[in-house]
């Protein structure tokens, strides 16, 4: 049952959100797929993901009442996945979670046999995309790039790795083909 969890990770600038959006647009709506909504202690913006926005106190209350199945801190924000967002696993649905590489070992303990979808790109592509955002100093970008070098895969996890450095269409087609190779992925 837990092997139906697709845990998405990758460095900043790899295009995770863009590729996941592309995938949502290209998967048949009849597939038993649920896209877990993240809970984050930051406001929603029109450009970003449509997460559940909470303040730090609300986030602490969710933790205290065990409403978060997964939780982590990254880039000065608190992230979580509510228990209810993983409930579709019990109905034999596939669940996509946009997670964190640092939280991957905990996610693998919670959902043994999960599939890790690692979306990445070359260091130079990541650098150019991060510079293009204009959100961080060059030093902060270089620090991010140093942290994005390696992915440690927990035991018994499957891996799909997509190098998202070409067109979004090309990377999306690679991802669709890779998903069809995952055991028990729904075939049409």
Q: Is residue 153 part of a domain?
A: yes
Q: Is residue 188 part of a domain?
A: no
For position 97, what pLDDT does the model report?
97
For position 183, what pLDDT does the model report?
87
Domain count, the chain: 1
Q: Which domain holds residue 16?
A: 2-180
Split at pLDDT 50, 70, 90, the class of 6 is very high
Tell me the β-bridge partners of 74: 77
Q: Is residue 113 part of a domain?
A: yes
Instruction: Give how far Cα 50 sits from Cα of 37, 65, 101, 118, 163, Å.
Output: 8, 23, 21, 21, 25
CATH of the domain at 32: 3.40.50.300
Q: Is 35 helix (H, G, I), strand (E, B) or coil?
A: strand
**Burial category of 78 from C-beta neighbours within 10 Å (exposed 0-12, middle 13-18, buried 19 and up):** buried
Residues 6+ apart with CB under 8 A from 70: 80, 81, 86, 97, 99, 103, 106, 107, 110
Q: Is residue 185 part of a domain?
A: no
HSE-CB of 18 using CA atoms within 13 angstroms: 17
Per-residue pLDDT reduced to its tens digit, 103-134: 999 999 999 999 999 999 988 898 898 888 88
CA distance 158 to 160: 7
Q: Is residue 12 part of a domain?
A: yes
Per-residue pLDDT reduced to its tens digit, 14-73: 999 899 999 999 999 999 999 999 999 988 876 667 889 999 999 999 999 999 999 999
Q: Is residue 187 part of a domain?
A: no
Helix (H) or strand (E) holding 128: helix 123-133
Query: Are 35 and 17 spatial neighbours (Cβ–Cβ below 8 Å)?
Result: no
């Amino acid at each position: 049952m837990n092997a139906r969890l697709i845990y998405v990770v990758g460095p900043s600038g790899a295009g995770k959100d863009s590729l996941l959006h592309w995938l949502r647009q290209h998967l048949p709506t009849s597939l038993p797929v649920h896209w877990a909504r993240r809970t984050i202690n930051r406001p929603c913006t029109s450009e970003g993901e449509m997460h559940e926005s909470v303040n730090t106190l609300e986030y602490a209350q969710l933790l205290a009442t065990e409403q978060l199945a997964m939780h982590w801190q990254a880039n000065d924000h608190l992230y979580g996945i509510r228990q209810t967002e993983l409930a579709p696993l019990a109905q034999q649905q596939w669940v996509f979670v946009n997670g964190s590489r640092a939280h991957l070992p905990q996610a693998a303990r919670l959902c043994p046999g999960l599939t890790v979808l690692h979306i990445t790109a070359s260091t130079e592509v990541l650098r150019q995309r991060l510079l293009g955002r204009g959100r961080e100093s060059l030093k902060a970008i270089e620090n991010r790039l140093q942290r994005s070098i390696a992915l440690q895969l927990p035991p018994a996890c499957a891996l799909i790795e997509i190098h998202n450095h070409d067109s979004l269409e090309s990377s999306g087609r690679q991802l669709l083909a890779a998903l069809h190779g995952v055991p028990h992925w729904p075939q049409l």
